[in-house]
Amino acid sequence: MVSIIYILWLRQLKRYLRSRSRIVGSLGQPLLFLLALGFGFGPTFEKAGGGDYFQFLVPGVVAMSILFTAMFSGIEIIWDRQFGFLKETLVAPVSRLTIMVGRTLGGATVATLQGCIVFVLAMIFGFRPEFGINLPLALAFMFLIALLFTALGTAVACQLEDMQGFQLIMNFLIMPLFFLSGALFPLDVAPAVLVMIARCDPLSYGVDGLRGTLIGVSHFGIALDGGILVVVTAIFLWIGSVLFKRIEV
């Protein structure tokens, strides 16, 4: 069981590291947000008394990078189903739960690495975490975000057979999850309706947890952020495992 999980995890990681175009291409959007929004809206945000907007924005952009990479890792299930690799994997003498765990851990590791790359680039452009001692905790939040949304992407992909349908559903899910999470605006001064919606968005707690560990700004509290992420991640892992067991190839 452990060996199968390791093999699937390693396969996901090697596939990511070998695809240089994928690594470079997935950095375009985060860099655009960092440069255009971080430096473009920075003076306005500072004049309004909000402080350094670039510092505020970086945790949200890191979470966004993890979200996109994790969710779209589910496409690989559809790809493997079309080219027969999934069938070969499913006939292995191991449970489907083991296969799902291996794939999910691999996708989550890739998404976490992507978030780390964006974090390093943000530091090059001037981001300075106020609490460097909390970097291991921030990394834990990044992995929880990656694990949660990799499981969600896997659950969705198990119900689809073509990549076009997957991309439509992913865009329908990803954009609201990101824009309503408070990644781009502080929830402390947001309208009550947006705050209520943000409380229902699991990404909100990931963004808030990263902000709390990196710059000391937290709306919900780091303990609550971590607790909710753990619970929601466990729920989506269970849902993903149930749907993966029912997948047909």
* In contact, 190 and 182? CB cutoff 8 Å: yes
Residue 195: count other Cβ atoms within 10 Å of its Cβ.
15
Q: Which tokens is 188 given?
A: 């402390």
Residue among 12, 112, 117, 119 nearest 66 (CA): 112
* HEC letters along 128-152: CCCCHHHHHHHHHHHHHHHHHHHHH
Which residue in the block uniquely carries the two structure tokens 């489907």?
96
35 with 125: CB under 8 angstroms? yes
pTM higher than the cut 0.75: yes
User: What CA dihedral angle connects 178, 68, 228 and 210, to 10 degrees?
Assistant: -80
- DSSP class of 52: -
* Residue that is written with structure tokens 């309503």 in the block: 180
Q: How far apart are CA 196 and CA 194, in angstroms?
A: 5
Number of Cβ atoms within 10 Å of the Cβ of 186 = 15
What confidence score (pLDDT) does residue 234 get?
A: 92
Q: What is the pLDDT along the chain (249 residues), one digit of tens a residue?
A: 556 565 665 666 666 556 655 666 677 788 888 888 878 877 777 776 667 888 999 999 999 999 988 888 777 777 777 665 666 566 555 666 777 777 888 888 889 989 999 999 999 988 888 776 788 899 999 999 999 999 998 888 877 776 677 667 767 888 889 999 988 888 888 888 989 999 999 999 999 999 999 998 888 999 999 999 999 999 998 888 888 777 765
